Structure 1
Amino acid sequence: MNQLVAPDLTVLRTAQAWLAAGDAVWLATVIDTYGSAPRPVGAMAAVNQRGEVVGSVSGGCIEDDITDWLRRDALACKLGTTLVYGVNADERARLRLPCNGHLMLWLEPADAMQLAQLLGHIDAGHCARRTLQLTDGTAVVSAADPGERCRLIGQTFVQVLGPTHRLVLIGASDVSRYLAPMALGLGFAVQVVDPRTEYLSTWPHAGCELLADMPDDLLLREPADVNTAVVALSHDPKLDDLALMEALQQPAFYVGAMGSPRTTQARKARLAQFDLDADALARLRGPVGLDIGARTPPEIAISVAADLVRVMRQGESRSPVAASLPSRLSSSTSSQLVTP
């Protein structure tokens, strides 16, 4: 599967390029959060010796704090350092963190071999797992298991990098053309399937896998799993319905189809003739997307992207930072560090 330019991939490639150019580079990774943290566990940023930053672990203030600290004492981060932000109200106000938001970060010098190993897995179409020991800064890179997520277990952080979700777009329609780049930016591996080659031939976006197959054939060959979303946007019932019939019998976390409420009811009636039971039909999201009054293709694409995010985030749990902080970490200031 062709790979995408997702945020974590941008950080890895930029860090690799900086190292190749002879720069000193540090990676900052969110390893735990509590409350309204601005970025999720696993989010990354890279900083070079000139203070240039790519990626994000916050809205920008924390990146500035890290850059300032590295300018003052970069040698203090030889193997890796744990930093905690947002542990009191004054600091949250200074850093403009959301109310009660805490972040635990791991800051480390970038390692060229590890970057090459991570990118090797991702470029081969797989998610990569990095198992990091906070006690001594050592890390091991391997292939991630399906459905694996970033998590902190005691003093071990497991980071999963690469496209952990897959989006199958049925039809290379106008809505698909607006939705695909949004999904790429959200970290999806995007497949666009449409046997109408005249539509695929003018597809404008790199980073998507284009397939001139019947959509149901694709889902039989590469079934949807719990990390897959299927969205039917072709305007052709022959393509949409056959794909939906397969997707609704597979464990996709999101199955949707474009169309008015009347069109959706007619589609469900057709699908019911293929012996889909009531539970399967109830999984169909239609009209697809959040109800924001969308009418134009870009508006519909925004509504679908927002709904994908909403459904992905449902049920996610965050463990409190306090439960995993080393006992020697002060709760008074972000300048307190834990260095192996």
Structure 2
Amino acid sequence: MNSTDLSVLKSAVNWLQAGHSVAIATVVQTWGSAPRPVGSWLAIRSDGQVAGSVSGGCVEDDLISRVQTEILTRDTPEMVVYGVSQEEASRFGLPCGGTLRLLVEPKPELTILEQLLASISSHQITKRSVNIATGESTLEPGTRNDEFACNDKEMRTTYGPRWRMVIIGAGQLSQYTADFAIASDFEVIVIDPREEYAEGLNRPDITFIQGMPDDVLLEIGVDPHTAVVALTHDPKLDDMALMEALKSSAFYVGALGSKKNTQKRKERLLEFDVSKEEVEKLYGPVGLSIGALTPPEIAVSILAEVIAVKYGARLPKKE
């Protein structure tokens, strides 16, 4: 779940807990050049307050009005379609004749949303199924391979925790990497036991943990939504972290260093409790080969490689 939709979920929970009437709209189908992808959320409060977006602003005003005057008076979900005709698409500002199909739930269940938020916060993948005839919803464990589905009877959406990047080391390169990761919607955790680096990471948008990286990785838990990037260039810190990261379910594990140093690192790791298959999961030298020289350029190459692996894109061979 990205930070925008997570914010929508939190807002909906807070509003319902405060006693407000709230409707939740989900993008269930798009045609043409629709601005927001399937699964995007918008929470609408009875007084017109909103959180999230389903169209980037094209249809929100009309939808808010429909929710306030019609939909919130009902007990069951309603399917709302915008842009059926070219004329309507133009009226609502949908690009290239785009069309949106939305499922609007006027009575989302607070207990279900609270449980969903708790599951996401504890880094569990959860599937939510909504009965379109009754509006009732259920939760069950999900997998990363589950796909969004909606038919006349049911909508099924799978929500996972935010993608995380755990950075080992708090030096200059780590700070640039953290900045680009945050801009790419990753939750960022930086681990470094060294006193002299603690002050530079005193930022509200980064979780800085001062401790031995291998111990901290075990404490925070590493899941399939986590990337681990070792950037201290100090084998005492990087190697210990990599031992734990490579044995975990992290979708990406990378380490700074030349080809020669990467080969030596792999040989060292094999001397410990790390299998050959696990060692081969290591991305090193870290980052795509784009000729990067400066810390910001190297950080760009790191994020590019992490994002490519995240989406299963083919990576160019490193020279």
TM norm structure 2: 0.74
SS in 2 for 1:61: coil
Runs (4 or more) in structure 1 with deviation over 6 Å come to: 220-223
Superposed CA offset, 1:78-116 (max 9, x none): 321122345555555554545575543221124433333
Q: 1:121 to 1:271 in 2, by over 3 A?
A: same
* Runs of 5+ unmatched residues, structure 2: 314-319
TM superposition shift of 1:163: 1.4
The percent of aligned pairs where both chains have the same amino acid is: 38
**Is residue 80 of structure 1 aligned with residue 74 of structure 2?**
no
1:14 partner letter: S
Q: Deviations for 1:130-180, whole angstroms, at most 9, x for unmatched residues?
A: 2212232111235x3453645215433233345153322111234434544
Indicate the SS of the match to 1:105: strand
Following TM superposition, by how much is the alpha carbon of 1:124 offset from its aligned partner in structure 2, in angstroms?
Answer: 4.7
Determine the structure 1 residue equivalent to 2:316: none
1:77–1:108 CA contact under 8 A, matched in 2: no
Contact 2:30-2:101 within 8 A present in 1 as well = yes
| Partner of residue 265, structure 2 | 271
**Distance of aligned partners of 1:185 and 1:74 in 2 relative to their CA distance in 1, 3 Å threshold:** farther
Residue equivalent to 1:170: 168
1:77–1:107 CA contact under 8 A, matched in 2: no
Q: Structure 1 residues 130-139 or 149-158, which shifts more?
A: 149-158
Matches within 5 A, 1:161-310: 161-180=159-178, 183=181, 188-200=186-198, 202-206=200-204, 210-218=208-216, 224-244=222-242, 247-248=245-246, 252-258=250-256, 263-274=257-268, 275=270, 281=280, 284=283, 286-288=285-287, 291=290, 295-297=294-296, 301=299, 304-310=302-308
| Map of 1:24 onto structure 2 | 21
Across the two proteins, how many residue pairs are aligned to each other? 306
Report if aligned partners of 1:23, 1:48 keep a CA contact under 8 Å in 2.
yes
Distance 1:181 1:50 in 2: 36
TM-score, length of structure 1 as denominator length: 0.70
- The one-letter code matched in structure 1 to 2:264 is R
Q: Return 5+ residue gaps in structure 1 as ranges.
A: 316-340
Say which of 15, 37, 53 aligns to 1:56.
53
Contact 2:176 2:295 in 1 (8 A): no
More relative contact order, 1 or 2 (CA 8 Å, 6+ apart): 1
Equivalent in the alignment of 2:317: none
Kindly tell me: are residues 123 and 251 of structure 1, through their superposed partners in 2, closer, same or farther at Cα, counting changes over 3 Å? closer
The aligned residue for residue 328 of structure 1 is none
Amino acid paired to 1:265: K
Letter paired with 1:38: P
How many angstroms apart in 2 are the aligned matches of 1:243 and 1:93?
A: 54
Q: What is the Cα-based RMSD across aligned positions, in Å?
A: 4.0
